[in-house]
Amino acid sequence: MFYLVLPRIGRLLCWFLLPSIMLSVALMLHAGPPPATDLPAAGLPPVDSTKAAQPKAALVFAFQTNLGYCRQWLATNDFKSLGQSVTALSVLTDALGRNVAESGQEKITSLHHAVDELVAAAKAADAGRAQQAIDALPKAIEAVETAPGLDHPRPATKTVASFTPLMHLIDGTFTDAKAALATGDVTAAKTYAVVLVELAQWLAADRAGAVWQSQAGDLAAAAQDVASSTAIDPKLLRTQFHDVYACCAACHQRQR
């Protein structure tokens, strides 16, 4: 009896454990966000999981996620990683700027100042100053969240933060989406896909050239497919995320 059951248990273990072990290893190898201990509950916009969030709400959500990473880096006094994570906040502030109406632009300016203060504190490796800067950010991002949005955002330009921080944020957002999917949080995964659509516009604006434009456009289109997918099954969405990754790989192959 036992020897009949045991191999089955072994096979079951393979099916259930291997994917999760592989995922954990993949997450560990990824140098972006710190380990997800004690992640502060980011305010997920209340969206129907069959519908995509609005870009502004999605960007605010990603801002809160990355602010959570900043908090964790500061908690371990890792100023180098804090400095990297805070550049994600700069890129997201740029992206929010193009989605906020003229009457809300002073709130974008205040958010930029608040982020710059954290950049400076990280550079100076000043824990007290960094803590103060981090504590000031929730209020600044809330102000932007309630500012009037735009139905037709302004065109994206080159990010102030430059290419590498933009690419790190694209990479981190893709990882956040997959991690959300792994826990079955379809709404969060779609919300990150909306952020990827937005970031692809910034990627397109970063360089001239027809090939670059079309490859950034492919990424935007693939992410848009996920964002507007009516699927609520994480497995289905995972397949769509593979298509997004194919766009990442296609461009990287071309650039090398």
Which of 121, 194, 203, 237: binder of ligand HEC (CB under 6 A)?
Answer: 203
- Work out how close the CB of 91 gets to ligand HEC at its nearest, in angstroms, rounded to a whole number: 14
Q: State the Cα–Cα distance between residues 133 and 137, nearest whole angstrom.
A: 7
Q: State the Cα–Cα distance between residues 207 and 74, nearest whole angstrom.
A: 34
Other CB atoms within 10 Å distance of the CB of residue 164:
10
Is 174 one of the binding residues for ligand HEC (CB under 6 A)? yes
Which parts of 23-82 interact with ligand HEC (CB under 6 A)? none
Which parts of 209-228 interact with ligand HEC (CB under 6 A)? 212, 215-216, 219
Is 243 one of the binding residues for ligand HEC (CB under 6 A)? no
Q: State the Cα–Cα distance between residues 151 and 112, nearest whole angstrom.
A: 22
Residue number, 230 or 253, with CB nearest to ligand HEC: 253
Q: What residues form DSSP beta bridges with 100?
A: 149
- Work out how close the CB of 43 gets to ligand HEC at its nearest, in angstroms, rounded to a whole number: 24
Taking a C-beta distance cutoff of 8 angstroms, is the pair 66, 172 a contact? yes
Is 256 one of the binding residues for ligand HEC (CB under 6 A)? yes
Q: State the Cα–Cα distance between residues 139 and 165, nearest whole angstrom.
A: 24
List residues near ligand HEC by CB under 6 A: 164, 167, 170-171, 174, 203, 212, 215-216, 219, 244, 247-248, 251-252, 255-256
